[in-house]
Amino acid sequence: MVGKIVAFLEAHVEKMVLGGAVLFVLYLAWGYLIATPHTTKLDGKDVTAGEIAESVLASARTLDSAVKNAKADPFTVEPYATELRKRQDKGILTSDDTDKPAIPPVLARAAEFGRKIEVPGLEQSSEAGKQLVLATPMPPMGLELRAGRSVVIPDPLKIDGSAPQAGFQQPGLLTGRGPGGRSTGGGLINIGPRQVPGGRGFQDPTPSFGSPAPEPGSEIKTRETPWVTVGAYYEKGAQEKEFLNANYAQYRAKPYVVRTEAQRQELLANGEWSEWADVTPGDAMPKVDLPDIAYDPSVKRYLNKPEVAAALQLIKTDQERIMQPPFFVVRGGDEWELPPLDGLPIVDDEEEEVDEGPKINEPAQGPRQPIVAPPSNPTVRGGRGIRGGGSGPTIPGGGSGIRNAGPSGGDPKKEARKQAIEDWNTARQHMRAKEYAAAIEAARKVVQAGDGAPPLFQKRARKLIKFAESRAGTQAGPTPRVAEQPFVTRPDDKNTEALWFHDDTVTPGKTYRYRLRVVLWNRYAEQDKALKDAEDARKLLVSGEWSIPSEPVTVPPLTHFFLAAENASKGTARFDVWKWFEGRWIKESFDVAVGEVIGGVRKIKTGETDSSGREVRSDVDFTTGAVLLDVRFDENIEQRQGQKEGYRMRTQQSSVAVCLNPADGRVIERVRAFDRYDPTRQELEDEAELF
């Protein structure tokens, strides 16, 4: 039976499937084509596709009609202003209780009011009504330069309000110096507390510049630094008038210098100047941290007014140090001095030639030959103040010494001078014996002698003190920054103030010229309602115009070389090469052939001893970088020789060396007859006598 069923299904399965498919198609045709059409729910009603648009339109019309015909419910606003006025008119002590007294709404005038106080120049018209344009600051005037190379304590100077103006000199170190380090001809300067401009009142004369003074026994780090100081005058009075002419309010017209900026040009080998380049301030220039103006344009508000006001107060307080930053403490080499600005008295403490007394461990010498010709190398402005002073003339027929024909007759000045010379010789004797403490003590007596000591001796004594302190490791004495001098202004115009820029990024031997500009505080910072351009109120600083270029200045090189002799048979020339080494000048001689570099490495005595007591020798590189191009023997040259009245020209024969100068790539000539009496050479020899 089961087999029959299976056989039937196998025989008719295709017909059964085909029949089922036909029935399903017929169901679909009836349900979706023949029977009721497609509908959907809209506002709770079944609507066909054709009825949807009409139903939606009817609903929109109903809503539009309801909106147009709608009416707001009436409401009343309480009269708050009327109620407040009533309460104010009753008086502050009046209440609903009629038994209490009431203060009358208008008090009786006790006295007549005076007229309106008017102060000329304090009108608000410039800020309220006029549209200001920021005025460009004026350029500095009368640029002067001074260059040198020193061993310094490189302590950065930071303007942070923690360092009051000192204005005094440290006893025993910086003495007899007036504004800018000039000699005053007196003894120690100690002016004590003084009235300081800018509302600071009387200040404690203790210096506090940069970091605090080192602890006793701590190591003081020094470095050799070539430097150029650019000095100028800034006419603050004229700048204030310019601001007033630009409709600045009186109380906003006073200029405040935030920093001095410098650009320099370098003299190229072809004799032309390079492009102007910004001078990046080094540690010698003050650092001032200033906030940025924070302005929120969405609410049109300035967000950090207290910080900006505090920064302005800091600039006002430290104007003197910002405009006239003190130089580093100098432990050796050239002393810093203010550039020779126009109108300031300049006391040259090297022009006076004096007798130093008998030279220690030196034989008597014949009379010195006069300087008959200027040096053949370019003049170095400022810096070492090179002159041919030397140690003074000697007495013909005898050794150099003091002309002591008998008693001085009790003249205090002569006695003081004699004592200063004796102290100086004592200081040199101790120095050569490496008795540094005794040398410092004797040299300080020379410095403290005031007018009794020749100015040349005082300068040399200060150099000896600094060098001896560096060798002895003496920590007492100098602070991280020198005590500031009295503020310098033009003598004939106190509203014209001096400013200067220390450039300690120069290269020895190169020649530069500079220009300066000032950057002033924007007195209308955050005052956009008074300015024509609102963006000017977002500026904290306003840069001025550049000054005219200064005269050139040559940075003292690390080496000097002079033609000392020649060998015609070998075709060579002998040069004396002076090398700057650990704060002093040392000399070695070299025989050089054409095409060779002048100088080389030599082992020299350092002046120090090891644990065994033997003198330490060290390799020192005397290489100048200059190349000898040619040597001409017995060439006729013209010399100018001074006489009592005028001068005369004299022809003589001398050897001439032609060299390529490595500093600027120019070809120079060294004339033996000129080099013999070169002022630079004579000063180097005189300075070497100290050590």
Q: Could you tell me what percent of the chain has a pLDDT over 90?
A: 26
Quick one: average pLDDT of 5-27? 85
Most confident of 144-153, 231-240, 332-341: 231-240
147 pLDDT tier (thresholds 50, 70, 90): very high
Element (H, E) at 53: helix 52-69
443-464 pLDDT, tens digit per residue, is: 888 888 877 777 777 877 887 7
Total-model pTM: 0.60
Report the Cα–Cα distance between both ends of the chain, in Å, rounded. Answer: 141
More confident residue, 691 or 351: 691
Quick one: average pLDDT of 141-155? 90
Give the tokens for residue 288.
């001032």
Query: Minimal CA–CA distance to 228: which of 511, 624, 610?
Result: 511
Q: Report the alpha-carbon distance of residue 77 to residue 343 in Å, rounded.
A: 80
Most confident of 52-56, 283-287, 410-414: 283-287
Q: Report the alpha-carbon distance of residue 338 to residue 651 in Å, rounded.
A: 41
Give the per-residue pLDDT at 161: 65
Identify the DSSP state of 383: T
* Partner residues linked to 266 by β-bridges: 512
Q: What is the DSSP string of 123-146?
A: -SHHHHT--B-PPPPPPPEEEEEE
Give the per-residue pLDDT at 189: 28
For residue 401, is pLDDT > 70?
A: no
164-178, 479-493, 512-526, 653-667: least confident range: 164-178
Give the per-residue pLDDT at 643: 65
54-63, 276-285, 613-622: least confident range: 613-622
309-318, 573-582, 638-647: least confident range: 638-647
CA distances from 170 to 192, 305, 448, 453, 466 (A): 11, 41, 12, 19, 13
Quick one: average pLDDT of 169-190? 33
User: What Rg value do the Cα atoms of the chain yield, rounded?
Assistant: 45
Give the per-residue pLDDT at 506: 93
Give the per-residue pLDDT at 85: 81
Q: Which residues contact 210 (CB under 8 A, 6 or more apart)?
A: 155, 156, 157, 158, 163, 480, 481
Q: Report the alpha-carbon distance of residue 608 to residue 547 in Å, rounded.
A: 49
Pairing outcome for strands 627-642 and 647-660 = antiparallel
Query: Minimal CA–CA distance to 560: which of 149, 207, 152, 213?
Result: 149
Measured torsion, CA atoms of residues 475, 442, 471, 609, in degrees rounded to the nearest 10 = -140
Give the per-residue pLDDT at 689: 66
Q: Report the alpha-carbon distance of residue 495 to residue 572 in Å, rounded.
A: 60
CA distances from 636 to 376, 574, 633, 641, 673 (A): 15, 20, 9, 15, 11
Amino acid 64 reads D
Q: Report the alpha-carbon distance of residue 236 to residue 234 in Å, rounded.
A: 6
Q: Under a CB-based contact definition with an 8 Å cutoff, are residues 647 and 638 in contact?
A: no
Q: Report the alpha-carbon distance of residue 192 to residue 482 in Å, rounded.
A: 15
User: Which residue intervals of 324-454 are DSSP H helices?
Assistant: 412-432, 436-447
Quick one: average pLDDT of 511-517? 96
113 pLDDT tier (thresholds 50, 70, 90): low
153-162, 405-414, 419-428: least confident range: 405-414
Most confident of 268-272, 320-324, 329-333, 444-448: 320-324
User: If you average pLDDT over every residue of the chain, what do you get?
Assistant: 75
More confident residue, 397 or 493: 493
67-94 burial, b if ≥16 CB within 10 A, otherwise e? eeeeeeeeeeeeeeeeeeeeeeeeeeeb
For residue 670, is pLDDT > 60?
A: yes
Q: Could you tell me what percent of the chain has a pLDDT over 70?
A: 70
Q: Under a CB-based contact definition with an 8 Å cutoff, are residues 601 and 615 in contact?
A: no
Q: Which residues contact 155 (CB under 8 A, 6 or more apart)?
A: 209, 210, 211, 283, 328, 329, 480, 481
Quick one: average pLDDT of 217-243? 87
* Partner residues linked to 499 by β-bridges: 232
Q: Report the alpha-carbon distance of residue 434 to residue 438 in Å, rounded.
A: 9
Give the per-residue pLDDT at 162: 58
